[in-house]
Amino acid sequence: MVDQAISTTPDANSIGISIRKLYKIFGPTPEKFLERVQNGMTKQELRDDHGHVLGLRDINIDMPAGGIQVVMGLSGSGKSTLIRHINRLIEPTSGEVIAGTEDVVKMNHNELLRFRREKTAMVFQKFALFPHYTVLENAEYGLEVQGVSSKKRRERSMKWIERVGLKGYEDNYPNQLSGGMQQRVGLARALSNDAPILLMDEAFSALDPLIRSDMQSVLLDLQQEIGKTIVFITHDLDEALRLGDKIAVLRDGEVVQQGTGQEIVLKPADDYIESFVQHVNRGRVIRCRTLMQPGARVNGPDVDPSLVIEEAARLLTVDNIEAANVVTAKGKHLGVITMNDIIGAIVPPKPEVAEDAEVATAADY
């Protein structure tokens, strides 16, 4: 399913976002400490000695137009702070946020309002639906703010309400719906805006696992049609790997690693990320392109280079065959992939450190 998202061609209207040297310090006089933080003052020192909190340090991320950029991190890593800089719900201490050609940081009040109305839409972790509005009125909210006529906004919002599967509920109030349905309203509200940038702040984190996976499918499906630039915040690696064309991992307000899901799983930048990716189902992340060996055609099925190896393994198991040909959509033979290689890749290398630790605890008893 990740493949579908990758193969999405960016909409002609979609715009990329690039974040440059972004710093955020929380506290009464952040400017005073900016330079010292830029010169390497630690988060600890800033907090203990000066009573300021370091939110973000030197963030540089290029978010592809028309793709899904995931920002992942545990709570307190600064990911929600980061996404709020894109539509400037939070003022940066220094740095640039360039959406398309405009620097969001330099906009005046009116330009910022227009940017938020026309270029961005946001989905929130706790839904943040207006309780006094019906489902339809909630979905219409962005258009209402823009001053679109009521007939037009009804038309556009109804389309998205139907698209997210809420037809028949348009006259209900949000409190009458379940969590999953409420977040569909949140999604419909954001999509009705038809803005090129979609900001999703832990949009599915409050939902239970089944509904979450269901909503991920809805989003990937929609993205096929709409090809928007989506910034998706999550603390869940599986979600990040499933949705993200690109993933940036945040820790203590700094980017620890960024790249595709496969890069992060196969080449974790440090122990922190390694501990994260240890329990990931690699079969769903690694693609045939990565594992294939050069070689002549074998007697087996053809697979796409971007197919995840779990799917390839399934194909091979069904027919009880040892190897498959990796072939591009245009029919060009690239190499072969064998069942042995796939199994080797899916079963992760044994973490030696963990083993030592076990011995140590056993000796203690």
- 353 part of the interface to another protein, by CB under 8 A: no
Answer yes or no whether residue 142 interacts with another protein by CB under 8 A: yes
17 binds another protein (CB under 8 A): no
Site membership for another protein, residue 131 (CB under 8 A): yes
Quick one: angle between helices 150-163 and 179-192, nearest 10?
Answer: 130
Least distance to another protein from the beta carbon of 39, Å? 33
Q: Which residue has the tokens 């065959």?
A: 321
Determine if 175 is a binding residue for another protein (CB under 8 A): yes
Span of 129-137, 272-280, 290-298, 324-332 interacting with another protein by CB under 8 A: 129-137
Q: Which of the ranges 108-116, 234-242, 292-300, 310-318 carries the binding residues for another protein, by CB under 8 A?
A: 108-116
Q: Does 126 bind another protein (CB under 8 A)?
A: yes
Residue with tokens 């928007």: 228
Cβ nearer to another protein, comparing 87 with 223: 87
User: Rule CB under 8 A: is residue 314 a binding residue for another protein?
Assistant: no
Contact with another protein (CB under 8 A) among 29, 38, 44, 176: 176
CB of 178 to another protein, least distance (A): 6
Side chain identity at residue 20, one-letter code: R
Q: Tell me how far apart the alpha carbons of residues 205 and 203 are, in angstroms, rounded to a whole number.
A: 6
Cβ closer to another protein: 71 or 277? 71
Of 171 and 270, CB closest to another protein = 171
Q: How far is CA 223 from CA 7, 14, 35, 214, 243, in A?
A: 11, 12, 41, 14, 10
Sole window of 114-122, 222-230, 265-273, 354-362 interacting with another protein (rule: CB under 8 A): 114-122
Asked whether position 120 contacts another protein by CB under 8 A, the answer is: yes
Rounded Cα gap, residues 359 and 352, in angstroms: 11
In degrees and rounded to multiples of 5, residue 327 shows phi and psi of: -130, 135
Q: Does 206 bind another protein (CB under 8 A)?
A: no
Please select the residue that binds another protein; options are 193, 234, 262, 325, rule is CB under 8 A: 193
Distance in angstroms (rounded) separating the CA atoms of residues 198 and 116: 11
Q: Cα separation of 348 and 344, whole Å?
A: 7
Footprint of another protein on this chain (CB under 8 A)? Answer: 87, 89, 112-118, 120-122, 124, 126, 128-132, 141-142, 144-146, 173, 175-179, 193, 199
